[in-house]
């Protein structure tokens, strides 16, 4: 597990869900934007009804990120996706994350801060925490999250699981790994072998050839960011832009070749940024979109709690500022088909305390990120729902721009509640987009209020 302390300078990382992994103890948070890296930070730095069975091909996508580290501090297990009803509302689960080694290969070895095979496929679960209600044994080759995902798919036919590679913290070696045709081929081959073919490292009874075969239905590339800065130790270079295009083509070729053998279509997706400067630095949009089944657009962290003034973090519309609509438009005008654009939606909020200036609190100076359970400045939707229900905060809403916030006179939280999420779902349908994505599933309520609201609003 990646054990990084959260700090204001890295607010767009772990605290925002941007990091790839947090400690099991603090289990702060993460998000592809918090995976993605905040748009604000990016700009400033240059930078699923229960029972399943209805995941048909033409249905708008509902993509949710499941965090590897969430099984620790948050105690959010794969089984919770079934119990909450989320699994029945989703079409795709993105498993966050897989890592790339300094040698340019996908790997799953017990390297502190770099890989967690214990959570992925070694950790036994008892009957009470298993999707199928049967305890894992010491002799089975596959346990942990991977086995639970396999059981979840069996219970919800048509649900797809993607392995997400990279994230904020684990994009470190992408740039080096894709420098040459040979290195790209080796990288992709290692990822296909490990995740799609399921050839896991052997550790006692666990792992072995084909141990995880059938768990993953595709690959999601979360390189943050080709051609521009990401996490402090993440390398980037100008030629990343063309090399990313070549990497995508190599993934498409190899997974299609495997799919031909298996008589199966393996999907290919990516998590992509809001900031136009980052789009232009790292993405040949028209070329890459030919090989992607879809891409998940950063739709949050437009502003983050490390900033000096409070601001919206996920508005659908905003004049002279980042927004969901603006992100969609920037990708469309660069040649992306609307049907392949999946709009990211946050199941968490950004918060500030020591807010001065009065009024509704928005756009006012603040002293620091607001205190919260997992990381200052970042709170799960379920935490914010409890604040809203407590009566101690006033709920404000900008109906025109599509965002909401809570303010008690001192502390402000900006987030998406079900009403905002339904507005965004209506936008997705009206604009002919590919669907909705959520970061992250462990932040939703026990009855998957956020995911369910979008699922019902998207309809069939």
pLDDT given at position 154: 98
pLDDT in tens, 86-144: 999 999 999 999 999 999 999 999 999 999 999 999 999 999 999 999 999 999 999 99
Q: What distance in Å separates the CA atoms of residue 14 and residue 29, rounded to the nearest whole number?
A: 6
SS3 414: strand
Name the 3-class secondary structure at 162: strand
pLDDT value of residue 50: 30
Distance separating alpha carbons of residues 137 and 385, to the nearest angstrom: 39
Say if residue 278's pLDDT is above 60.
Answer: yes
Q: What is the mean pLDDT of residues 256-280?
A: 98
- Give the span between the Cα atoms of 199 and 221, in whole angstroms: 20
pLDDT digits (tens, 9 = 90+) for 290-306: 999 999 999 999 999 99
The C-alpha torsion from 256 through 258 and 261 to 265, rounded to 10°, is: -50
> Tokens standing for 437?
């994505």
Is 302 contained in some domain?
yes
**Lookup: tokens for 357:** 């200036």
Mean pLDDT of all residues in 347-361? 98
pLDDT for 31 equals 40
DSSP annotation of 33 reads: B
Other Cβ atoms within 10 Å of 208 Cβ, number: 15
- Report yes or no on 395 lying in a domain: no
Domain containing residue 288: 8-347+417-458
Give the whole-angstrom CA distance, residue 320 versus residue 352: 22
According to the model, what pLDDT value does residue 13 have? Answer: 35
Band (pLDDT 50/70/90 cuts) for residue 22 is very low
d(CA 164, CA 95): 6
| Known catalytic membership, residue 128 | no
Answer for the pair 302, 346: CB distance below 8 angstroms, yes or no: no
Structure tokens at 182: 């040979």
Position 391 in a domain: no
What's the confidence (pLDDT) of residue 58? Answer: 65
Q: Which two tokens stand for residue 6?
A: 């959260």
In a domain, 360, yes or no: no
For position 59, what pLDDT does the model report? 85
- Residues 418-438: b if buried by 16+ CB within 10 A, e if exposed: bebbbbbbebbeeeebbbbbb
Listed in sequence order, the DSSP H helices in 202-319 are 240-262, 276-282, 285-289
Q: Exactly one of 103, 114, 151, 224 is catalytic; which is it?
A: 224
Work out the angle at residue 57's Cα, subtended by the Cα atoms of residues 56 and 60, and round it to the nearest 5 degrees. Answer: 90
- Domain annotation covers residue 375: no
Q: What is the pLDDT of residue 460?
A: 75
**pLDDT value at 20 more than 70:** no
Short-list 302, 339, 363, 342, CA closest to 424: 342
Q: The domain that contains 194 carries what CATH number?
A: 3.20.20.80
Expressed in angstroms, the distance from the first to the final Cα of the chain is: 38
Domain contains 368: no
**How many separate domains does the chain show?**
1
pLDDT tens for each residue of 171-212: 999 999 999 999 999 999 999 999 999 999 999 999 999 999
Distance in angstroms (rounded) separating the CA atoms of residues 317 and 402: 6
Res. 76: pLDDT tops 60: yes
- Burial tier of 337 (Cβ tally within 10 Å: 0-12, 13-18, 19+): middle
d(C-alpha 151, C-alpha 110), whole Å: 24
Residue 387 covered by a domain: no
Residue 21 has pLDDT above 90, yes or no: no
Residue-wise pLDDT tens digits, 331-353:
999 999 999 999 999 999 999 99
Arithmetic mean of pLDDT, 283-287: 99
Per the prediction, the chain carries an average pLDDT of 90
Q: What are the DSSP E strand ranges found in 13-113? A: 61-67, 92-100, 106-107
- For Cα atoms 182, 256, 343, give the angle at the middle one, nearest 5 degrees: 100
What DSSP designation does 365 have? B
- Residue 44's pLDDT is what? 37
Q: Which tokens go with 419?
A: 């009403």
Q: Of 235, 308, 299, nearest to 271 (Cα)?
A: 299
């Amino acid at each position: 597990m990646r054990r990084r302390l959260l700090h204001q300078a890295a607010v767009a990382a772990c605290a925002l869900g941007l990091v790839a992994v947090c400690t099991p103890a603090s289990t702060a948070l993460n998000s592809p934007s918090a995976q993605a890296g905040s748009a604000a930070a990016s700009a400033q730095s240059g930078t699923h009804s229960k029972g399943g069975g209805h995941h048909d091909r033409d249905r708008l996508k509902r993509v949710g990120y499941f965090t590897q580290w969430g099984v620790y501090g948050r105690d959010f297990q794969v089984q919770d996706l079934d119990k909450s009803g989320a699994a029945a509302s989703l079409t795709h689960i993105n498993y966050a994350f897989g890592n790339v080694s300094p040698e340019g290969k996908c790997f799953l070895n017990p390297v502190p801060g770099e890989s967690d095979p214990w959570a992925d496929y070694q950790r036994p679960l008892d009957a009470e925490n298993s999707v199928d209600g049967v305890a894992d044994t010491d002799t089975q080759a596959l346990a942990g999250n991977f086995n639970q995902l396999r059981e979840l798919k069996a219970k919800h036919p048509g649900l797809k699981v993607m392995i997400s590679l990279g994230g904020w913290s684990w994009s470190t070696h992408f740039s080096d790994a894709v420098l040459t045709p040979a290195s790209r081929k080796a990288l992709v081959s290692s990822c296909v072998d490990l995740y799609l073919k399921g050839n896991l490292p052997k550790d006692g009874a666990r792992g072995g050839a084909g141990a995880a075969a059938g768990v993953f239905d595709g690959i999601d590339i979360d390189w943050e960011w080709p051609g521009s800065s990401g996490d402090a130790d993440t390398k980037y270079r100008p030629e990343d832009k063309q090399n990313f295009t070549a990497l995508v083509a190599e993934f498409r070729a190899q997974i299609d070749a495997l799919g031909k053998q298996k008589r199966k279509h393996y999907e290919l997706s990516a998590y992509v940024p809001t900031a136009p400067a980052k789009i232009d630095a790292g993405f040949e949009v028209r070329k890459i979109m030919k090989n992607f089944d879809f891409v998940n657009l950063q739709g949050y962290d437009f502003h983050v709690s490390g900033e000096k003034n409070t601001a919206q973090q996920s508005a659908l519309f905003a004049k002279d500022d980042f927004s969901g609509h603006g992100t969609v438009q920037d990708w469309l005008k660069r040649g992306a088909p609307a049907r392949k654009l999946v709009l990211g939606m946050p199941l968490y909020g950004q918060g500030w305390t020591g807010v001065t200036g009065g009024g509704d609190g928005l756009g006012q100076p603040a002293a620091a990120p607001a205190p919260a359970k997992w990381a200052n400045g970042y709170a799960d939707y379920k935490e914010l729902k409890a604040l809203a229900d407590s009566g101690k905060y006033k709920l404000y809403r900008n109906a025109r721009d599509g965002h909401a916030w809570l303010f008690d006179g001192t502390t402000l939280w900006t987030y998406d509640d079900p009403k905002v999420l339904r507005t965004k779902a209506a936008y997705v349908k009206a604009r002919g987009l590919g669907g909705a994505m959520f970061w992250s599933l462990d932040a939703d309520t026990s009855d998957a209020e956020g995911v369910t609201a979008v699922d019902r609003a998207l309809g069939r």
